[in-house]
Amino acid sequence: MDLKVNSSVATRDERDAVDSVLGKPTQYTQGGTRTEQDLRISRAGEALRNLRHMLLPTLHAVNDHIGWISRGSINYIAQQLDVAPAEIYGVASFYALFSTTERPKRQVHVCIDLACRAMGGLREDELPEGTHPSPCLGTCERAPAVLVIEAGNPARHEVLAPATPVQINALAKGAWPEAEPSIVSATPQADDDSTKLVLLGRIGKVDPLSITDYQQHGGFVALRKAIQLGATSVIDEVNASGLVGRGGAAFPTGRKWGAVAGQPAFPHYSICNADESEPGTFKDRVIMEGDPFALVEAMIIASFATGCEQGFIYLRGEYPRAIRNVQNAINESKKQGFLGDNILGSGFNFALSIVRGAGAYICGEETAIFNSIEGYRGEPRNKPPFPVEVGVFGKPTLVNNVETLVNVLSIVNDGGATYAALGTEGSKGRKLFCLSGAVTKPGIYEVEFGITLRQLIDLAGGLRSGSTLQAILLGGAAGGFVGPDDLDLPLTMEATHAAGSSLGSGVVMVLDQSVDMVDQLRRIAAFFRDESCGQCVPCRVGTVRQEEIISRLAQGVQSQDIEMLRELGTVMRDASICGLGQTANSAIDSAINKLKVFAQ
Amino acid sequence: MSTQVTTGLHIRRSVQLTIDGQSVTVAEGETILSACRTMGTEIPTLCFGDTITPKNACRVCMVEVEGSRVLVPSCSRKVEPGMVVRTDTERTDHSRKLVLELLGSSVDLSLTKNVARWNSEYEAEPIRFGKPAAPTNDRDEATTGHHHVADGSSVVNVLQPVKIDNELYVRDYSKCIMCYQCVDACGEQWQNTFAIGVAGRGFDIRISTEFNVDLTDSACVYCGNCIQVCPTGALMFTSEYNMREAGTWKEEEQTQTDTICPYCGVGCSLTLHVQDNEIVKVTSPSDHSVTHGNLCIKGRFGFQHVQNRAE
Amino acid sequence: MVGLATVFGAGGGTSSYQEVETTDLIVMWGSNARNAHPIYFHHVLKGIHNGAKLYSVDPRRSETAQWADLWLGLNVGSDVALSNTIAREIIHAGLANRSFIENSTSGFAEYAASVEEWTLEHGSKTTGVPAEAIRELAHALGNAKTAQICWTLGITEHHNGVDNVLSLINLALLCGHVGRPSAGLNPLRGQNNVQGGGDMGALPNKLPGFQDVEDDVARTKFEKMWNVTIPPKTGWNLTQMFEAMEHGKMRSAFVIGENPAQSEADGAHATALLKNLEHLVVQDIFLTKTAELADVVLPGSASWCEAEGTVTNSERRVQRVRKAINPPGNAHDDIQILVDLASVMGHTWKYESNEHVWNELRSLSPMHFGMTYERLEDLGGIQWPCFSLDKIEPSYLHGRLWAEKLEDRGRLAPFSVVIDSPPVEKTTPEFPLRLTTGRRLDSYNTGVQSGGFESPLRMAETVDLSPEDAVSMGIVDGEIVRITSPRGTVVAPARIDDGLRPGLVFMTPHFPNEVDTNLLTIEAIDPKSGTAEFKAAAVRIDKILKSDARVPVAGE
């Protein structure tokens, strides 16, 4: 295009960062040195337009190497990708992990979200200098958590949890945290040999970085079986299993697969939604850190069944260890021929890569993921058309959550009927729950559907000593609160639905008497305000008004404010484009109605 | 104005649906909104423009469709056979009222057409959210994903100083409802200059050049196609802005005359807005096959030569 | 216009704008439509977004070229060489549309023989474009289902402009890219009613509606209606008029809405000739440089906003212009001025309105017959031809060429043998740089209209040169330099433009009062069209040394 870039020029390091993703420019118009050839021909057009999806990785590279994204870098990226600077600025300024203003190389992101707050973490107004607040870092089992990022080539990312204020101060001043503890600490059931774990079975028992170890523990057996069965039979088994999506929406997985497989338009794409950002949710992280090959294998099977030759794992940027481990799993799988052309002699070709998120809860929305992958702002799209027909790059796309995918391995291995026999009539199979807050052993728990809330908390060793139960948040910030009276609620989709709540992503956040519920509600409101993409009015303005009203209520309850909150909740639920706005009031609503938080 | 049928026959199937209890038949591919308009049913719209693919960002046009859990944007949802639509239920009215209030409490809608009427029709009272906060001048420096936690004493809004950085048009983003139309017109849908984009996130979302540089340092080519599509008066000819400031802008006294641009041979349709024998603004008919409402700098702003008369 | 009329019998672009949105391949040759025809380029962009490939052929890497899948930066004036090379490659690669050539064209064998010498190597050497790039464009043209070949003044403003056009028509004939939906040949008109002027018979050999002045039947029809005798022979084109002035054969002129004193190549010479006239009448809305030379100035009205009428655009769409404001002072409607003049000269022309004039035209020009004011209004303009009141013809011309039966195909379209002919003025050690000219986005021609508004984009006139030349001459951006051609010298600031290669410099005609670029351009005329070679002069750029006591003024 007829680009116009201003006079700001990228530094050598900035150029190197961009080139590390895009390669050195091959022509003058893309920022290369001018050769004889450039005087006579230039190539733009479709070839460059097809590079747009490289924008997000390129911005990451600059942000990683330099620490922020300058005008000069944006100009150079603009030339390399033939994308206007204003567009790039729009994308860069969409993500919280990127900065378009200069900042120190060291960034200390302190989680101020629900679980960390409940566990004595700092609040936004208590942070030491040199640190800044972060939404839930998905390390709730070790709350409170901190993510440290140090720009450089390569950039360093590390999570410290639990983190004391003293430690946080030290991080801000240049200390570097020790490596995280083994992931087995996040799966307390692993200590108990009497429980047969399937989804979490390998965690703590295999080396997550070793493909040999994985294969010695049943790895790639399901893939071989799937290829033997053939694509259609795999989908039949998934259908028979009754598996539904574990990301929150609970759509029947087999139906989705069948719909993608049957689309006449090609290519098909598969996406693993690993942008786990719902406050209180960390199950996908634990799987990716502890059993990354399982996810890769499940992606291969899903893509084989639905005819996708290219897949993406859209992985949350705040999950450094998950990124490292999944990337290793992809690399190793490629080396061993589980990825690439003609996998296991089946004739099936499949390429898989990670797309790293950059700090945007909304990108966990299945259509926002598409925009983010394509190099646009991560704004949700309108549905219809639905992703199975028109998804990423405008093609039929399969989107599955990490937990959903990993379930497929046992479905293929043991048959859909075996899986369907587990759980209840309305909720079949196994489920992971993320226990955090005031329980003795927080972590991820694998159970058969049907267990009650009380039983689950007991499984986690009950409440911490000295704690009395005040409330439980089910399903995360987009879910709802229940109270001490609801402990016998069976944790099934049907029962929670009937109780006016939802399982969502499996969050069970236990809040004891020490927790300030009003403070929790203010944080929920602030969270949605920060994470709204801003596209539609009910969510963009509604989340702001909601926060303002809650702030007012915190100072003194007025009945018209309660009524206005209710009205806001209705318009957000009825008229927002996507699930974010539609659920932005649900936890607050439940706290008011069920827990009577603002009762006069 | 109908468009010329040039080649082949486009036979579109018709679709029958029910709107507010009335059966209606429209062509396949029509939207619920266009079907409603066919029937004479008014649905408020704010972000909808007839030359831009509906973004359905404002959510004021929501209707109920049987079988849908949430309300449906009528401006973009295509009709389907057997669809049952209701445009005037308690839910739709509540939704419209709240959207009008949310926008009204955060944006200056004084030049947005029909808002006053709709406010009274839907009993919208934007002021009930609280006292408006004072205008700010730092919206362009917002940090993504972070905000100062509200204390609730006043309600935040987008009021800010007018951006005047060139001779031809001004940008008053206090009036911007984020319909995205200017960005789409500047970008892929028409002009493909991409001088402006959407920056930031959430309530900090804004229309911006890269790093908020002045238009004169941006890629802007002053086609004014953004002004053409702006529904709120946030983008305005300098001539109109100055006349409004001086209190001499009299829209009711203006005539609008369609003619053809005097410059190159493309033959773009112009609509000349004339007040007191002076051209004060130029637009282009949105339904014309040559321009679709778009012009270049010469067509949009190059009219002065016929009225540099003073000697 | 001459080229298209020669081959197809009608001097108009063959497609509609909307067809470029649905074509497979767009070739913009000697056209920077992104700047010069921005709204046409919107249609091109739709085509691109719908999947069309864009090729740009232009000495400069222009704004249009920057959108192209491939830009071919040929030497100025080597268009025929490039076209012939492409043709040979298409033929040799077996990509020529044999059945179309056989059924609908004539003269192929001779044409094919004439391009045989143009191997890729030979073509590359002559044009400066890498052979592989030429091959790529040839194959794109040969393989495309539909292609739109568009050009502008980069093709026509040469001493062999008509040959350039014919060479592009040859390519379309070779591949069958004409006479079908989305396939066609489109000259983008530089001025808002240049097509309309031709439609209305403002050509030396035509009566309104492209009816030949030498055609007795047609001429008689007009003579009857007008009750006059029309000279049955072709008149002079603009260039011939200037020649006639030079030889004293033309002694007076009536100039309406033109500024030849500044718009003609070798402007100093043109001005001298106009000054020499015994009688010069200028009808205009501005007191132009030409008007300043006039014996009588008739203040006209701005046709696009102070009068009623029609204009025709580049897709042959006739559209209404309307009166929105009153003309100032004693300015009158142009038609009224002509009627008054006629009256003074003893003829009573009775027209109730400008629409009445139009209806008279409709009665004389079959291709306009169906275009009543009412229909023009209802349909947003109508493309010619429009023969009947109840029908619209296809949006593209020459569908007849694809007719099943030979008798329905009409005159077969002839290939033209065209010979490479480099610019008349060669670069020399004294004048080592090639000057080419063009437009900027916010300005227009000699600036009399576009100078009226403040443009944030506008820079005063500059001489644009490549970064390499700037370095070798020690010139920095913005430095005032002297530009000299064999005809004159002007002074302008230098502007470094990396769209130019070493040896190529660029100027515009937009600011003749400050920098009269046409003092530099050469009056080398294409005898077939009368257009001058604005696109190729030889110049020298000199630094202005501090020791120069006095900065030379323009026109010196």
Burial A395-434 (b: 16+ CB within 10 A, else e): bbbbbbbbbbbbbbbbbbbbebeebbebbbebbbbbbbbb
| Residue/partner pairs of C130-133 with CB below 8 Å, 24 or more apart | C130/A37, C130/A40, C130/A41, C133/A40, C133/A41, C133/C70, C133/C72
Structure tokens at A137: 């870092």
Chain C closest CA to B209's CA: distance in Å? 16
Structure tokens at C169: 């028509």
pLDDT beyond 90 at A370? yes
Q: State which residue of chain C sits closest to A29, comparing Cα positions.
A: C66
What tens digit of pLDDT does each residue of A504-532 get? 899 999 999 999 999 999 999 999 999 99
Q: Assign domain C433-543 to a CATH class.
A: mainly beta
pLDDT beyond 90 at A194? no
Q: Facing residues of C105 across strands?
A: C413
Angle at CA of residue A225, ends A219 and A227, nearest 5° = 110
B215 vs C464: CA distance, rounded Å: 24
pLDDT beyond 80 at B310? no
Do B267 and C192 count as a contact with CB atoms less than 8 A apart?
Answer: yes
Nearest to A333 by CA among A343, A324, A323: A343
Chain C closest CA to A3's CA: distance in Å? 8
Q: Which domains does chain A have, with CATH numbers?
A: 12-92 (no CATH), 106-172 (no CATH), 211-420 (3.40.50.11540), 430-512 (3.10.20.600), 517-593 (1.20.1440.230)
Predicted local confidence at residue C333, as pLDDT: 94
The span from the first CA to the last CA of chain B, in angstroms, equals 41
A85 vs C151: CA distance, rounded Å: 31
Q: Where are the domains of chain C?
A: 2-187, 191-235+302-326+350-389, 433-543
Q: How many CB atoms lie within 10 A of CB A5?
A: 19
Burial of B253 (0-12, 13-18, 19+ CB in 10 A): exposed
Mean pLDDT, to the nearest integer, of C463-468? Answer: 96
- Whether the CB-CB separation of B288 and B254 falls below 8 Å is answered with no
Q: Facing residues of A401 across strands?
A: A273
SS3 C264: coil
Nearest to C54 by CA among C21, C83, C25, C20: C25
* Residue A550 at interface with chain B, using a CB cutoff of 8 Å: yes
- The one-letter amino acid at C319: Q
Mean pLDDT, to the nearest integer, of A311-329? Answer: 98
* Residue C40 at interface with chain B, using a CB cutoff of 8 Å: yes
What tens digit of pLDDT does each residue of C148-203 get? 999 999 899 999 999 999 999 999 999 999 999 999 999 998 888 888 998 999 88
Q: In C, residues 163-182, which contact B (CB 8 Å cutoff)?
A: 181
CA C393, C398, C399, C405 torsion-angle sign = positive
A232 vs A230: CA distance, rounded Å: 6
C245 vs C115: CA distance, rounded Å: 40
- Whether the CB-CB separation of B255 and C324 falls below 8 Å is answered with yes
Cα separations (Å) of B49 from B33, B75, C88, C435? 12, 9, 50, 46
DSSP code per residue over C163-199: HHHHHHHHHHHHHT-SSBTTBEEEEPPSSTTHHHHHH
SS3 A272: strand
- The one-letter amino acid at C364: L
Q: Which CATH architecture has domain B13-130?
A: Roll (3.10)
- Whether the CB-CB separation of A197 and A287 falls below 8 Å is answered with no
* Chain B residues within 8 A of C23 when measuring between CB atoms: none
% of chain A exceeding 70 in pLDDT: 100
pLDDT beyond 90 at C514? no
Phi, psi of B16 (to 5 degrees): -105, 135
Which residues fall within 8 angstroms of residue A347, CB to CB, at 6 or more apart? Answer: none
List the single residue in B305, B307, B309 with the smallest CB-CB distance to C449.
B305
Q: In B, residues 253-272, which contact A (CB 8 Å cutoff)?
A: none
pLDDT beyond 70 at C231? yes
Which of the residues C70, C78, C500 would you substitute to probe the A interface, choosing the one with the greatest number of A C-beta atoms within 10 Å? C70
Let me know if domain B169-306 sits in CATH 2.20.25.90. yes
C337 vs C259: CA distance, rounded Å: 19
Share of chain C residues as helix, strand and coil, in percent rounded to the nearest 5:
35, 15, 50
% of chain B exceeding 70 in pLDDT: 95
* Residue C200 at interface with chain B, using a CB cutoff of 8 Å: no
* Residue A599 at interface with chain C, using a CB cutoff of 8 Å: no
DSSP code per residue over C209-275: TTEETT-HHHHHHHHHHHTSPPP-S----HHHHHHHHHTTS--EEEEES--HHHHSSSHHHHHHHHH
Q: Which residue has the higher pLDDT, B5 or B150?
A: B150
Mean pLDDT, to the nearest integer, of C274-300? Answer: 94
Cα-to-chain-centroid distance, residue C197: 13
Mean pLDDT, to the nearest integer, of A231-252? Answer: 94
Which of the residues A55, A529, A537 would you substitute to probe the B interface, choosing the one with the greatest number of B C-beta atoms within 10 Å? A537
Interhelix angle B90-104/A542-555, rounded to 10 degrees, is 80
Which of the residues C15, C305, C330 would you substitute to probe the B interface, choosing the one with the greatest number of B C-beta atoms within 10 Å? C305
* Chain A residues within 8 A of C67 when measuring between CB atoms: 1-2, 44-45
Residue corresponding to tokens 């940090």: B143
Predicted local confidence at residue B4, as pLDDT: 35
DSSP code per residue over A345-404: GSS--BEEEEEE--S-GGGGSHHHHHHHHTTS--PPPPSSSPTTTS-GGGS-EEEEEHHH
Structure tokens at A570: 């209705």
Alpha helices of C332-372 — where are they, by DSSP H? 334-344, 354-364
- Whether the CB-CB separation of C310 and C192 falls below 8 Å is answered with no
Nearest to C277 by CA among C234, C240, C242, C235: C242
A510 vs A457: CA distance, rounded Å: 9
Count helices and strands in chain B by DSSP H and E runs: 7, 12
Let me know if domain C2-187 sits in CATH 3.40.228.10. yes
Angle at CA of residue A368, ends A364 and A371, nearest 5° = 130
Predicted local confidence at residue B10, as pLDDT: 55
- pLDDT tier, C530 (very low <50, low <70, confident <90, very high otherwise): confident
Q: State which residue of chain A sits closest to C59, comparing Cα positions.
A: A40
* Chain C residues within 8 A of B171 when measuring between CB atoms: none
- Whether the CB-CB separation of A456 and A431 falls below 8 Å is answered with no
Do A94 and B200 count as a contact with CB atoms less than 8 A apart?
Answer: yes
Structure tokens at A524: 């929920």
SS3 B278: strand
Do B199 and A93 count as a contact with CB atoms less than 8 A apart?
Answer: yes
Pairs of residues, one from chain A and one from chain B, whose beta carbons lie less than 8 Å apart: 205
Q: Assign domain C191-235+302-326+350-389 to a CATH class.
A: alpha beta
List the single residue in A3, A40, A47 with the smallest CB-CB distance to C128.
A40
Predicted local confidence at residue B11, as pLDDT: 65
Q: Where are the domains of chain B?
A: 13-130, 169-306
Nearest to A287 by CA among A414, A202, A181: A202
What tens digit of pLDDT does each residue of B217-270 get? 999 999 999 999 999 999 999 999 999 999 999 999 999 999 999 999 999 999
What tens digit of pLDDT does each residue of A82-103 get? 999 999 999 999 999 999 999 9
Region of poorest pLDDT, from A190-204, A424-438, A575-589, C471-485: A190-204
A66 vs A105: CA distance, rounded Å: 7
The length of chain B, given as a count of residues: 311
Nearest to C30 by CA among C171, C123, C149: C149
pLDDT beyond 60 at C550? no
Which residues fall within 8 angstroms of residue B117, CB to CB, at 6 or more apart? Answer: none
B126 vs C93: CA distance, rounded Å: 71
* Chain C residues within 8 A of A26 when measuring between CB atoms: none
β pairing state of B278-283 and C25-29: unpaired
CA B169, B174, B179, B180 torsion-angle sign = positive
- Whether the CB-CB separation of A144 and A162 falls below 8 Å is answered with yes
- Whether the CB-CB separation of C177 and C143 falls below 8 Å is answered with no
Cα separations (Å) of A32 from A21, A77, A122? 15, 12, 48
The span from the first CA to the last CA of chain A, in angstroms, equals 62
Structure tokens at A63: 């942000």
* Residue C33 at interface with chain A, using a CB cutoff of 8 Å: no
- pLDDT tier, C121 (very low <50, low <70, confident <90, very high otherwise): very high
Which residues fall within 8 angstroms of residue A389, CB to CB, at 6 or more apart? Answer: A259, A263, A265, A396
pLDDT beyond 80 at C552? no
Q: Facing residues of C206 across strands?
A: C203, C212
A473 vs A278: CA distance, rounded Å: 12
Burial of A301 (0-12, 13-18, 19+ CB in 10 A): buried
Predicted local confidence at residue C1, as pLDDT: 62
Residue corresponding to tokens 């009536």: C254
pLDDT beyond 60 at C511? yes
Residue corresponding to tokens 């023969």: C387
Cα-to-chain-centroid distance, residue C420: 20
What tens digit of pLDDT does each residue of C85-103 get? 999 999 999 999 999 999 9
* Chain B residues within 8 A of A526 when measuring between CB atoms: 147, 149
C100 vs A317: CA distance, rounded Å: 59
Burial of A465 (0-12, 13-18, 19+ CB in 10 A): exposed
What tens digit of pLDDT does each residue of C412-443 get? 999 999 999 999 999 999 999 999 999 888 88
Structure tokens at A17: 């960062």
